[in-house]
C-alpha cells in the first residue's frame, strides 16, 4: 500500500497562478510520476491553475518536497504526496479510489531502457509494460466510474513519439507507448458522450532525468540523434509538455478528445 503525506492549506491567495486566474479551482487532479521531470512540471501547472493535486510517485520524498514547496509558495494550494508504484496494479487502483473522486487524471509515470530488442529479457518486457501500460489501465479503470457518474472528466496520458514512430533501442517501450495511444483513443470512444475527454501527449526528447539516464546508457551520439530527429534541433523542456497538458484539461479543450498531441519539436510531423 501507499503512505500518505498531506500538505494542505485552505486560505485563498492571488499569487499562485499567472495573473491570479485559477481556472481549475475546485478540480481534483491525480498525477502519476509527479515528483520530477515532466510530471513535476505538470503538477506545477495544475496547482498554479487552482487544482487540488495528488502526486503519486515511487519517490515519496521527491513528491513531498514538491508538495511542500508549492504549498509554501501559495498557501491556497492543496497538494498531496503519496508513494505509489503504478505497476502494483492493486495499489494503483486503491490510490485513485482512496484519494478520489478525481476530475483530472494524468498518467505520466514511465520508464525507458536503452537496449536492442534481442538483448532484452522477459523480465524487462514485464517491467516496461507494467509501468508504462498496465499502470495506465489500472488508474484509469479506478478513476472512470466516478467521472462517468458525474458526467465530467479529463484524462491525459503521456505517451511518446516512440509510440507512433517506433524507436531503435527502445522497442518494448515503444510497444507500451503505442498501446497507451490505442487505449486512450478507445477510452475516448467509449466516453465521448459522457462528458469525458481522453487525449495523449506525445513528447519527443525532453530534458529530464529520464532522458539523461538514456543518454548515459546510449552515449552522447544518442543525444545528437534525438535532437537531430526534431525539426527544432533542440531538446524540449518539461514545461513545454506541461503547457499542452494544461490546455487539454482546460474547459477550452472540451471538444478535443481522442487526439495525440505531439510536443516534440516536429519529430512526429506527418505521423
**Shortest reach from residue 72's CB to ligand NAD, in Å:** 20
Residue 59 touches ligand NAD, criterion: CB under 6 A? yes
Toward ligand NAD, which CB reaches closer, 17 or 156? 156
**Shortest reach from residue 175's CB to ligand NAD, in Å:** 13
Q: Which three cell numbers stand for residue 109?
A: 509515470
Residue 46 touches ligand NAD, criterion: CB under 6 A? no
Residue 230 touches ligand NAD, criterion: CB under 6 A? no
∠ CA 7-51-15, rounded to 5° = 80
Residue 187 touches ligand NAD, criterion: CB under 6 A? no
Cα–Cα distance measured from residue 18 to residue 64, given in angstroms and rounded to the nearest whole number: 23
Residue 248 touches ligand NAD, criterion: CB under 6 A? no
**Shortest reach from residue 42's CB to ligand NAD, in Å:** 9
Residue 111 touches ligand NAD, criterion: CB under 6 A? yes
* DSSP alpha helix (H) spans, the chain: 37-48, 60-73, 89-99, 122-129, 135-150, 162-165, 171-191, 209-218, 220-228, 238-248
Select the residue interacting with ligand NAD from 51, 105, 211, 253 (CB under 6 A). Answer: 211
Report, as residue numbers or ranges, the catalytic residues. 173
Cα–Cα distance measured from residue 95 to residue 115, given in angstroms and rounded to the nearest whole number: 32
- Cα dist. 189→142, 161, 256 in Å? 18, 22, 12
**Binding residues vs ligand NAD (CB under 6 A):** 32-33, 35-39, 57-59, 62, 84-87, 108-112, 131, 158, 160, 203, 205-206, 208-211
Amino acid at each position: 500500500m501507499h503512505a500518505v503525506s498531506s500538505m494542505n492549506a485552505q486560505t485563498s491567495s492571488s499569487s499562485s497562478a499567472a495573473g491570479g486566474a485559477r481556472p481549475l479551482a475546485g478540480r481534483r487532479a491525480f498525477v502519476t510520476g509527479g515528483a520530477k521531470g515532466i510530471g513535476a512540471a505538470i503538477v506545477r501547472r495544475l496547482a498554479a491553475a487552482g487544482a487540488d493535486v495528488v502526486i503519486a510517485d515511487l519517490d515519496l520524498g521527491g513528491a513531498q518536497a514538491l508538495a511542500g514547496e508549492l504549498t509554501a509558495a501559495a498557501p491556497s494550494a492543496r497538494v498531496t504526496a503519496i508513494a505509489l508504484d503504478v505497476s502494483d496494479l492493486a495499489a494503483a487502483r486503491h490510490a485513485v479510489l482512496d484519494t478520489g473522486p478525481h476530475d483530472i487524471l494524468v498518467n505520466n509515470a514511465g520508464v525507458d531502457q536503452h537496449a536492442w530488442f534481442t538483448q532484452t529479457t522477459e523480465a524487462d518486457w514485464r517491467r516496461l509494460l507494467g509501468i508504462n501500460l498496465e499502470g495506465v489501465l489500472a488508474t484509469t479503470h479506478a478513476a472512470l466510474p466516478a467521472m462517468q457518474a458525474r458526467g465530467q472528466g479529463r484524462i491525459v496520458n503521456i505517451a511518446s513519439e516512440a509510440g507512433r514512430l517506433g524507436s531503435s533501442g527502445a522497442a518494448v517501450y515503444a510497444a507500451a507507448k503505442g498501446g497507451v495511444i490505442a487505449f486512450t483513443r478507445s477510452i475516448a470512444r467509449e466516453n465521448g458522450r459522457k462528458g469525458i475527454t481522453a487525449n495523449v501527449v506525445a513528447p519527443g526528447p525532453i530534458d529530464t532525468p529520464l532522458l539523461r539516464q538514456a543518454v548515459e546508457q546510449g552515449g552522447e551520439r544518442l543525444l545528437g540523434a534525438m535532437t537531430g530527429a526534431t525539426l527544432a534541433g533542440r531538446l524540449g523542456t518539461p514545461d513545454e509538455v506541461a503547457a499542452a497538458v494544461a490546455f487539454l484539461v482546460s474547459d477550452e479543450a472540451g471538444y478535443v478528445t481522442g487526439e495525440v498531441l505531439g510536443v516534440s519539436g516536429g519529430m512526429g510531423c506527418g505521423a
